[in-house]
Structure 1
Amino acid sequence: MTSTTARSKTRKPGASKRTRSLANISLTRKEDWNRFVLAPSRTRPDPVTRTELAGLSDTARTQYDRLRRDWHANLGPFITPQFKSVTEQLWNITESNLHDGDRVKGAIALDSEPGVGKTTVAQHFGKQFHLDQLKQEGPRTDGGHERWPVCWVSLTGNTTLRDLNRAMLSFYAHPGADRGTANQYLQRALDCVLNCETRLLVIDDLHFLKWPTAHSIQVSNHFKFIANTFPVTLLFIGVELKNSGLLADRNHSNVVAQTARRTTVIGMDSFPVADDHQRATWRNLLKTIEDRVILAAAGPGMLAEVLPDYLWARTNGHIGSLMTLINRGCSLAIRSGEEVLTEELFDRIGLDAAAEETRAGNFAAIRTGDLKARMN
């Protein structure tokens, strides 16, 4: 392959533009959320052989490797059974929440341990919901305002209720987001929700909200006010929300119980491998991933047939850890020139602390036969 041919082959229309447009965004701002929702599909780099790769000029090789790193860093989402189940429930609840403004809509709490893909599922659902609303209602409201079907808020450590209200207001780029009381922020946010006809309010990392046990009723009342006043479906995302001040209270307060009665808790799981059905699901995920990997020496079965036990032991079945390992592995394979994912290559890559903590025990269980992720 000549350098000219390589350049024309790897420079897909819009690929670099899309990379630039999504590399520096925050979904907590409406303009960036809009870019995320409306961005074209990422262009898959064409696979090449080792010989073709060696024939690229330095410039073409640098560009091709950059496109591959971008591709591997953004693989997915993968439509796993967990993904399909959660998405179906999210659609069912939001589509049935057609209550008039004077009626309270049911809320959703997407609650599970870290690293199983909660936020990824919610982002994908929010994107589809946003597009669906624009298709049905148009980009402008009857009052002439921009329509923003989704408001996405991500909390930080020790967030107060005032910070939460301000974060909602900041999403809409309201000029009053830099000054005011908690109630003033909340009322301004309500004006934005009504004017922009927002129908889904997503609050990510809700477990960061600062609520000592003594204040759980205050927190519950705050969200009760939002549910009663904002014509939106509330989607909470977090860890151990069922045990938080939102849905549980040691004093068994009826106020907190009311919020719990209005909130449907949806869980997500990692990938267990206790039986052949579960192992088949794990294999299918690995097969889907390897089909999307663009490495010159990659081949069928590279992950699904050769490394199912190894990858499960390294990640404990958590898709977040798995995708980090795959992404870093692809980057190392490109940089080192190995161009294939192997156990030896993965052994040179560190993972998150939680995955590393279970690594030794998982490998010991595989050696003794107490655990296996490989199909029979």
Structure 2
Amino acid sequence: MKQSDSTPPPGGGASFLPGPPIDRTRWDGWQRYRSSRDSFVPAQILSSAEYARKSPRQRRIHDLHRLATHSSLPVQATPMSEAVAWLVRTRIEDGAFSHKVGTRTGVMVNGGGAQGKTETVCEALAGFEDEWLMLNQQVNPDAMPGTRDLLAPVAYVRCPVKATPISTCQRILDFYGEDYKGMRLEDLVRTVSTAIVEHATKALVIDDITRLKLHREADQDVLDLIREMMSMPVTLILVGVGIPTSGLLRDGRRDPVTKQWLFPPVKDRGRSPNAHAATQHERRFELIDLDPFSYDTPEQIGAWTAHLRGLESYLRLLNDTDGMLTTAGMPEYLFRRTNGVVGLLEKLIQTGCRHAIQSGGERLTVDVFNQCTVSPTDLPDLDAASGEQPTIPPFAPKPRKKGRNSVFDDDGPAAESAG
């Protein structure tokens, strides 16, 4: 029998409870993410009357399901993220389906913190892997007879804080579950190359790439590491904050019209073995920005409002949510609170929904949002030292005017005669 959205299944659990944490930096965790990324079922949409007819226990379960829904708002496509997803998917497919031998063109995805870079890239790669596995009937066509090598069309890793080339290689091998104990850097690079081939990996994502501090003398060989990875039969996707000024590329400027990054001519850097490494990266990577929303032109305002309208459809408040985020001055207010950063918007709406439910008002208003703040602690997986924390607009809500206490007022003789 099909379970109702807010009815616990047999065994005492609840259908909306999350399973074990998903770690996409391990092969089994990535597979869980890929296969379950669209499986969450949001809470039912109920009217106040329908909600009132439920028992106290049923209402509590439904409230928890609503909490889970607001904490799991889907990552909606934006005009900016669609451009990034298209380029990532294009470069991966160009490399995966090419029969030529040579370096694959990679992609560098640049943008501020909480702008959806990671989710956009992961969704694009998960879609590619779904299709690739279907075409290859879920098996590795190049596997050695008599073996069952792990099939990993996509590998996703994150640079550790204060990363080095050695720790970056170790993170890649961790994804495959490879043993690297006692290996030197050259051994690690060789093992990474072998793992990519044996596990039929077509796309390698290195997230938080700008945690590699290239100003440290001991880490200058990171450019050689990335250059070595370019020669591997895999498409590299590098994701980070402030890539153009990180040292991975020469300092460049962004053309305000074309939105493309322009780099100055190469100057002689002396006898450094890395003199032209950054230039090679520019030739072999395409850099694209994932920008936040803007609010200057009618088209930009329309895109922001359309995004808010999409979020309205996922709100599970007992009042009609149509127009709750998109009418009157709400779009401008929300933009002012978030600077158009989708991650900050999601946190603000999540907190606002909790206030709206707990207060019984069941409506998102400016007064409700004025009670909500977003702080760096709401984004714990972003490293502030690496510039990953977004700038949160300062907000100081106006204090609510308190009504005058009239308990001891004397209403006078007129009131007495009226009594």
Q: TM-score, normalised by structure 2?
A: 0.78
Residues 356/234 of structure 1: CA separation in 2 closer, same or farther (3 Å cut):
closer
Determine the C-alpha separation between the residues in 2 that align with 1:124 and 1:56.
Answer: 38
- Partner amino acid, structure 1, of 2:28: E
Q: 1:159 corresponds to which residue? A: 163
Runs of 4+ in 1 over 6 A off after TM superposition: 12-15
CA contact (8 A) 1:325 1:346 kept: yes
1:62 aligns with 2:60: yes
Structure 1, residues 89-133: CA drift from partner, whole Å, max 9, x if none? 112222222445741101110011222211111111111111111
Q: Give the superposed CA RMSD.
A: 2.6
Q: 2:233 corresponds to which residue? A: 231
Q: 2:411 corresponds to which residue? A: none
1:150 aligns with 2:145: no
CA contact (8 A) 2:24 2:33 kept: yes
Determine the C-alpha separation between the residues in 1 that align with 2:152 and 2:67.
Answer: 32
Q: 2:258 corresponds to which residue? A: none
Q: 1:201 corresponds to which residue? A: 204
Determine the C-alpha separation between the residues in 1 that align with 2:112 and 2:392.
Answer: 16
Gaps of 5+ in 1: 1-6, 364-376
- Partner amino acid, structure 1, of 2:294: P
Q: 2:255 corresponds to which residue? A: none
1:339 shift after superposition: 1.7
Determine the C-alpha separation between the residues in 2 that align with 1:75 and 1:281.
Answer: 18
Residues 150/54 of structure 1: CA separation in 2 closer, same or farther (3 Å cut):
same
Please tell me whether Structure 1 or Structure 2 has the larger radius of gyration of its CA atoms.
Answer: 2
Instruction: Summarize the alignment of residues 18-97 of structure 1 with structure 2, pairs less than 5 Å apart.
Output: 19-21=17-19, 24-39=21-36, 40-97=38-95
Q: 2:133 corresponds to which residue? A: 134
Q: 2:359 corresponds to which residue? A: 336
SS for the counterpart of 1:48 is: coil
Q: TM-score, normalised by structure 1?
A: 0.86
Determine the C-alpha separation between the residues in 1 that align with 2:316 and 2:326.
Answer: 16
Q: 1:243 corresponds to which residue? A: 245
1:20 shift after superposition: 2.5
Structure 1, residues 60-107: CA drift from partner, whole Å, max 9, x if none? 223222222222112122122112211111122222224457411011
1:195 shift after superposition: 1.4
Determine the C-alpha separation between the residues in 1 that align with 2:242 and 2:30.
Answer: 27
SS for the counterpart of 1:108 is: strand
Structure 1, residues 146-182: CA drift from partner, whole Å, max 9, x if none? 32111000122101111100000001122x1454323
Determine the C-alpha separation between the residues in 2 that align with 1:191 and 1:113.
Answer: 34
Percent identical among aligned pairs is: 25
1:319 aligns with 2:322: no
- Partner amino acid, structure 1, of 2:70: H
CA contact (8 A) 2:227 2:277 kept: no
Determine the C-alpha separation between the residues in 1 that align with 2:302 and 2:325.
Answer: 13
1:299 shift after superposition: 2.4
Residues 12/108 of structure 1: CA separation in 2 closer, same or farther (3 Å cut):
farther
CA contact (8 A) 1:30 1:171 kept: yes
1:285 shift after superposition: 0.6
- Partner amino acid, structure 1, of 2:312: E
Structure 1, residues 320-373: CA drift from partner, whole Å, max 9, x if none? 11111111212222233322211111111111365544547xx9xxxxxxxxxx
Residue from 336, 351, 371 that aligns with 1:348: 371
CA contact (8 A) 1:217 1:255 kept: no
1:296 shift after superposition: 0.7
SS for the counterpart of 1:323 is: helix
CA contact (8 A) 1:219 1:245 kept: no
Instruction: Summarize the alignment of residues 251-266 of structure 1 with structure 2, pairs less than 5 Å apart.
Output: 253-266=275-288
Residues 133/293 of structure 1: CA separation in 2 closer, same or farther (3 Å cut):
same
CA contact (8 A) 1:134 1:147 kept: no
1:232 shift after superposition: 0.9
1:26 shift after superposition: 1.0
Residue from 204, 211, 215 that aligns with 2:214: 211
SS for the counterpart of 1:148 is: coil
Structure 1, residues 203-223: CA drift from partner, whole Å, max 9, x if none? 111111132264675222111
Q: 1:10 corresponds to which residue? A: 6
Q: How many residue pairs get matched?
A: 353
Determine the C-alpha separation between the residues in 2 that align with 1:356 and 1:262.
Answer: 34
Q: 2:309 corresponds to which residue? A: 287
1:299 aligns with 2:299: no
Determine the C-alpha separation between the residues in 2 that align with 1:155 and 1:196.
Answer: 21
Residues 182/332 of structure 1: CA separation in 2 closer, same or farther (3 Å cut):
farther
SS for the counterpart of 1:242 is: helix
